[in-house]
């Protein structure tokens, strides 16, 4: 039973080659495995100027039980963020599993220099709100603290208008936990990072030869489209199963 493991690889590949070889190439194409078939189609569509795309992104997100607001100037973002958290604090927790703090004082966040709003941290601190930026989630203390926060804050690498999706790449100062552990997630979305579709975003990264390095250096990228959901019980929709039940986008014109 204990066959040498090293043989498995050889045996599997040999078997595949034999079978494929004896059957011949189905389509007649040969040797183009690195290229792959033609560039895939664009599945969903969106077009227009940055404002139009921002609205479409937000509308899509709203249809998926997320929420959004569009802010004219970058400088207004901190105030809007505080307002959003204050509103949430006055509501009931979206998931009854979290201890119902009377108010959120700590936000599980990406590092300040990863957030596209200058001076955000100082502004929040002035209002009694501190950013918790985890350094190592494998450390028990760090993990426990991260797990007890009720709001997460991140930027986005890209937002896609046609589906209401965002791309989050992990990295130093960019924890996966901030968009995953707390029951509520706020995303800061500069208009300059909104693309019409997945395919437009892919084309842009390919064009700059950055796609492979983004995936590999990030260790993980995740596409997030609305709040965590399940329909496992009688196909009835429930939000916030493991990820956040509330996802809110603050979209702002970063040219202003």
Partner 1 sequence: MRVDVRAPYKVRVRQALGDDGLRIALDRATEQMSGRCAEAMAAVDAPRLRDEARRIREHAIEHLPELLEALERNLTANGCQVHWARDAEEARQTVLNIARQHQVRQVVKSKSMLTEEIRLNQALERAAINVVETDLGEYIIQLAGEPPSHIITPIIHKRIEDVSELLQRELGVPPTNDPADICATARRELRREFLRADMGISGCNFAIAETGTICIITNEGNGRMVTSMPRLYVALAGIEKVVPRVEDALLLWQVASRSATGQDVSVYFTLSSGPRRPGHPDGPRRCSPRTSPLPKSCRLPARSALPVAMPARSRSTFPACCSICATMWYSERPLPCSSASPCERTRRPWSGLDATGSQHAWRAGSLGSSPEERTVRSRGCHRR
Q: In the range 174-233, which residues lie near partner 1 by CB under 8 A?
A: 174-177, 180, 198-199, 202, 211-212, 215-233
Phi/psi of residue 30, nearest 5 degrees: -140, 145
The binder of partner 1 chosen from 37, 128, 141, 207 (CB under 8 A): 37
Helix H segments across 24-76? Answer: 50-63
Binding part of the chain for partner 1, among 35-43, 80-88, 150-158, 187-195 by CB under 8 A, reads 35-43
Q: Confirm or reject binding of residue 147 to partner 1 (CB under 8 A).
A: yes
For residue 255, the minimal CB distance to partner 1 (Å) is 29
Structure tokens at 112: 């300040």
For residue 143, the minimal CB distance to partner 1 (Å) is 6
The binder of partner 1 chosen from 82, 106, 114, 173 (CB under 8 A): 173
Give the nearer residue to partner 1 in terms of CB position, either 71 or 168: 168
Binding part of the chain for partner 1, among 49-57, 75-83, 84-92, 173-181 by CB under 8 A, reads 173-181
- By CB atoms closer than 10 A (0-12, 13-18, 19+), residue 116 is middle
State whether residue 157 is helix, strand or coil.
coil
Phi/psi of residue 88, nearest 5 degrees: -65, -40
Q: Provide the 10 A C-beta neighbour count for residue 127.
A: 12
Q: Rounded to an integer, what distance in angstroms lies between the CA atom of residue 82 and that of residue 73?
A: 16
Extract long-range pairs of 112-115: CB within 8 Å, 24+ residues apart: 113/173, 114/154, 114/155, 114/173, 114/174, 115/153, 115/154, 115/155, 115/188
The binder of partner 1 chosen from 163, 184, 186, 196 (CB under 8 A): 163
Instruction: Please list every residue from 125 through 144 that binds partner 1, using CB under 8 A.
Output: 133-138, 143
State whether residue 117 is helix, strand or coil.
coil
For residue 151, the minimal CB distance to partner 1 (Å) is 16
Instruction: Please list every residue from 76 through 135 that binds partner 1, using CB under 8 A.
Output: 95-97, 133-135
For residue 106, the minimal CB distance to partner 1 (Å) is 16
The binder of partner 1 chosen from 88, 129, 240, 248 (CB under 8 A): 240
Q: CA end-to-end span of the chain, whole Å?
A: 68
Question: How far apart, in Å, are the Cα atoms of 230 and each of 90, 221, 223?
Answer: 26, 22, 17
Size of interface with partner 1, in residues (CB under 8 A): 86
For residue 84, the minimal CB distance to partner 1 (Å) is 21
Binding part of the chain for partner 1, among 69-77, 80-88, 119-127, 237-245 by CB under 8 A, reads 237-245
For residue 91, the minimal CB distance to partner 1 (Å) is 15
For residue 174, the minimal CB distance to partner 1 (Å) is 8
Under a CB-based contact definition with an 8 Å cutoff, are residues 186 and 152 in contact? Answer: yes
């Amino acid at each position: 039973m204990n066959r040498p493991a090293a043989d498995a690889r050889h045996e599997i590949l040999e078997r595949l080659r034999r079978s494929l070889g004896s059957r011949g190439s189905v389509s007649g194409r040969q040797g183009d495995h690195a290229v792959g078939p033609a560039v895939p189609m664009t599945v969903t569509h969106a077009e227009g100027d940055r404002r139009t795309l921002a609205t479409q992104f937000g509308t899509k997100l709203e249809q998926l039980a997320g929420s959004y607001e569009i802010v004219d100037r970058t400088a207004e973002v901190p105030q809007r963020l505080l307002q959003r958290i204050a509103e949430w604090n006055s509501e009931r927790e979206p998931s009854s599993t979290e201890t119902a703090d009377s108010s959120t004082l700590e936000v599980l966040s990406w590092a300040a220099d990863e957030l596209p709003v200058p001076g955000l941290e100082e502004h929040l601190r002035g209002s009694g709100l501190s950013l918790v930026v985890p350094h190592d989630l494998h450390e028990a203390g760090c993990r426990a603290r991260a797990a007890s926060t009720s709001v997460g804050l991140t930027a986005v690498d890209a937002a896609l208008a046609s589906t209401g999706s965002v791309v989050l790449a992990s990295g130093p100062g960019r924890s996966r936990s901030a968009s995953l552990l707390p029951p509520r997630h706020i995303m800061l979305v500069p208009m300059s990072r909104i693309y019409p579709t997945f395919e437009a975003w892919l084309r842009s990264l390919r064009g700059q030869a950055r796609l492979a390095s983004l995936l590999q250096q990030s260790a993980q990228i995740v596409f997030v489209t609305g709040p965590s959901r399940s329909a496992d019980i009688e196909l009835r929709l429930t939000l916030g199963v493991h990820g956040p039940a509330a996802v809110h986008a603050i979209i702002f014109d970063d040219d202003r």
